[in-house]
């Protein structure tokens, strides 16, 4: 008899986006003449930039000629891409990460989820609330939790509430975690962590032999130079942190797929006898067993992001999204909303007025302004009373949406 992995039975049904879809469809069916503006799901809308597209095409053409055709590539990623990443994303900023410590993959969603596999089931995991749902669900799948409780928290997970009271950066937990998921700039709150804040976490991880799983998917959106773009800007982080980065939001690769994980050679985790082991070695072992590399044209396209023209073009797209964020922030501020984020991240996190619940606000904005956002409570209990607007939208739609929200009663 085939038995299932029963940890999967603990998972709560993916509720947030299906429920948003259900309510939107219901509204559309009842109001077929209304034009809906979607500012909910965190997906990009601008196309690949010309320099990236050109490299992508070249890569495809190379695959069509016997002299340049490539079969399986290195599982870790082609050296040309890993070198481009190391030099441009790290060494150029004074961070000493060699190409050998970079492992290319087809997405940070997979990486942040799969990484759980190389850590034992007895590890205690700390995650923020609200949170990117992947961290929690993959913690459950890998058998590190008990059942889901009525408040939506899984037993055995250390939840760290992030609210306006702590500036959306969590306090150090009272119970000691082994693995700590941090995401800055943050999805969903759009807020950032200062150098001081991250130093607190690196020191804590060093004292406790914990590992920080640092999701930097939105680092390219940082506009304030005092905010760290990488966890490795913090002294001592190489011994306690894994960094996840993706071309998805940085360069519009959500449908093209390329990302990477940085695991410094110095990073160690322990066996039950207390012996130290290289985490990079374990991850490479997993990666090369279960993954056969990102397609060559895609890696070529990703490397083009680091050419001078590629950098310039990508920056313009990011500036377009960040101008959307500015418009949203200022428009919502003007009509009396308290707004967080949207300065160094493409998300604007709005506090509803008068203690209105996230879903009530969702219904109001949908029904009266025909605009779709994301209820904060869908990302965790501490998101209740907040609402997320994504800046990954068309400018005209952003302007129209803000006008409609201003005209709400």
Ligand X SMILES: *Cc1c(COP(=O)(O)O)cnc(C)c1O
Catalog residues that contact ligand X under the rule CB under 6 A: 42, 107-109, 132, 183, 187, 215, 217, 246, 248-249, 254, 259
> 72 among the known binding-site residues?
yes
Beta carbon of residue 316, minimum distance to ligand X (angstroms, whole number): 20
Give the CA diameter of the chain.
67
Q: Return the number of the residue (325 or 405) whose C-beta is nearest ligand X.
A: 325
| Cα(313)–Cα(50) distance, integer angstroms | 8
> 132 among the known binding-site residues?
yes
Residue bearing tokens 């009266």: 368
What letter would DSSP give residue 37? E
> 187 among the known binding-site residues?
yes
Beta carbon of residue 254, minimum distance to ligand X (angstroms, whole number): 5
> 109 among the known binding-site residues?
yes
Q: Return the number of the residue (105 or 370) whose C-beta is nearest ligand X.
A: 105
Supply φ then ψ for residue 185, to 5 degrees: -55, 145
| Cα(295)–Cα(278) distance, integer angstroms | 27
Q: Return the number of the residue (197 or 266) whose C-beta is nearest ligand X.
A: 197
Beta carbon of residue 85, minimum distance to ligand X (angstroms, whole number): 14
Whose CB is nearest to ligand X?
107
Beta carbon of residue 178, minimum distance to ligand X (angstroms, whole number): 21
- In 163-202, the DSSP E strands lie at 179-183
> 358 among the known binding-site residues?
no
Beta carbon of residue 107, minimum distance to ligand X (angstroms, whole number): 3
Beta carbon of residue 191, minimum distance to ligand X (angstroms, whole number): 13
Q: What is the DSSP string of 246-258?
A: EHHHHHS-TTT--
| Cα(173)–Cα(183) distance, integer angstroms | 16
**How many C-beta neighbours within 10 Å does residue 22 have?**
10
Beta carbon of residue 183, minimum distance to ligand X (angstroms, whole number): 5
Please, what sign has the CA dihedral across residues 13, 15, 17, 19? positive
Q: Return the number of the residue (112 or 331) whose C-beta is nearest ligand X.
A: 112
Distances (CA, A) of 236 to 150, 169, 198, 233: 39, 20, 11, 9
Q: Return the number of the residue (81 or 217) whose C-beta is nearest ligand X.
A: 217
Q: Return the number of the residue (114 or 210) whose C-beta is nearest ligand X.
A: 114
Tokens at residue 409, please?
């009663």
> 218 among the known binding-site residues?
yes
Q: What is the DSSP string of 229-280?
A: SSGGGSTTGGGTEEEEEEHHHHHS-TTT--EEEE--TT-EEE-TT--EEEHH
> 257 among the known binding-site residues?
yes
Tokens at residue 295, please?
């397609």
For residues 139 and 160, the answer to whether their CB atoms sit within 8 Å is no
SS3 104: strand
Beta carbon of residue 72, minimum distance to ligand X (angstroms, whole number): 22
Distances (CA, A) of 298 to 42, 231, 351: 22, 26, 39
Q: What is the CA radius of gyration of the chain?
A: 22
Q: Return the number of the residue (140 or 369) whose C-beta is nearest ligand X.
A: 140
> 388 among the known binding-site residues?
yes
Q: Return the number of the residue (217 or 366) whose C-beta is nearest ligand X.
A: 217
Binding site members for substrate: 15, 42, 109, 132, 187, 292, 388
Binding site members: 15, 42, 72, 108-109, 132, 187, 218, 246-248, 257, 292, 388
């Amino acid at each position: 008899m085939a038995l299932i992995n029963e940890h999967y039975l603990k998972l709560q049904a993916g509720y947030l986006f299906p429920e948003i879809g259900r309510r939107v469809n219901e509204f559309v069916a009842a109001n077929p003449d209304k034009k809906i503006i979607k500012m909910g799901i965190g997906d990009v809308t601008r196309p690949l930039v010309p320099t990236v597209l050109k490299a992508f095409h070249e890569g495809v053409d190379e695959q069509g000629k016997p002299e340049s055709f490539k079969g399986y590539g290195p599982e870790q990623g082609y050296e040309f891409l890993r070198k481009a990443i190391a030099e441009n994303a790290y060494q150029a900023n004074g961070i000493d990460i060699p190409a050998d410590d970079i492992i290319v993959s087809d997405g940070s969603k997979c990486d942040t989820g799969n990484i759980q596999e190389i850590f034992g089931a007895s590890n205690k995991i700390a995650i923020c609330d609200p949170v990117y749902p992947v961290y929690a669900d993959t913690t459950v799948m890998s058998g590190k939790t008990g059942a889901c409780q009525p408040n939506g928290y899984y037993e055995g997970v250390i939840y760290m509430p992030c609210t306006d009271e702590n500036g959306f950066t969590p306090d150090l937990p009272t119970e000691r975690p082994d693995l700590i998921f941090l995401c800055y700039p943050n999805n969903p709150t759009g807020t950032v962590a200062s150098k001081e804040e991250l130093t607190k976490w690196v020191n804590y991880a060093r004292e406790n032999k914990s590992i920080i799983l640092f999701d930097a998917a939105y680092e390219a959106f940082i506009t304030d130079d005092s905010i760290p773009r990488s966890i490795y800007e913090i002294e001592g982080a190489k011994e306690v942190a894994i960094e996840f980065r993706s071309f998805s939001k940085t360069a519009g690769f959500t449908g093209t797929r390329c990302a990477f994980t940085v695991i410094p050679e110095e990073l160690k985790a322990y066996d039950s006898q207390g012996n130290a082991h290289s985490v990079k070695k374990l991850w490479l072992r997993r990666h090369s067993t279960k993954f056969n590399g990102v397609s060559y044209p895609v890696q070529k396209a990703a490397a083009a992001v680091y050419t001078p023209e590629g950098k310039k073009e990508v920056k313009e797209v990011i500036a377009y999204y960040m101008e959307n964020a500015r418009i949203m922030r200022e428009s919502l501020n003007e009509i009396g909303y308290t707004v967080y984020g949207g300065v160094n991240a493409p998300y604007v996190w709005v506090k509803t007025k008068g203690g209105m619940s996230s879903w009530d606000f969702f219904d109001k904005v949908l029904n009266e302004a025909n605009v779709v956002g994301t209820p904060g409570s869908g990302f965790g209990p501490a998101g209740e009373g907040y609402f997320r607007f994504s800046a990954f939208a068309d400018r005209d739609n952003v302007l129209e949406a803000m006008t409609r929200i201003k005209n709400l009663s």
